[in-house]
Amino acid sequence: MSREAEAVAVVQRQLDRYNARDLAGWLATYAEDAEQFELHGARLARGHAEMAERMRLRFTEPDLQATLLSRVVMATAPACVVVDYERIRRNFVEGPGTVEMLCVYEVAGGLIRKASFALGERQWARDESKN
């Protein structure tokens, strides 16, 4: 398997585990010391313990679902970079809705080593019962 194919496979496994709300399986796609960041900004989490704490509540949301809109992969030395553009359905505190997200994953040795995220504007679900 090429480095690019390996990188795509682990990022897809991460997305599948996210949609299954499988915290242990999701964490298994990340290196133990992986880091997550806001794109060009603050660190959100470092290591499995912080990442688990950050995601535990999200994985209880009944409507949580990420839809892949596009994916780009590029081999670099020594990692591969996978960029996913996704639409995430969430149960926000303010109510149900979606948010578009740009996810930049650095993958080496079959694991995600670093991830950076840019969030778009929230879109609120329409209440069909009011129509």
Q: Which of 61-65, 88-92, 122-126 has the lowest mean pLDDT?
A: 122-126
Structural domain boundaries of the chain? Answer: 3-124
Give the per-residue pLDDT at 126.
Answer: 78
Mean pLDDT on 31-46: 97
**Position 77 pLDDT exceeds 90:** no
What's the confidence (pLDDT) of residue 1?
82
pLDDT tens figures, 87-123: 999 999 999 999 999 999 999 999 999 999 999 999 9
Measured distance CA(69)–CA(85) in Å, rounded: 5
Task: Report domain 3-124's class.
Answer: alpha beta
Is the Cβ–Cβ distance between 129 and 28 less than 8 Å? no
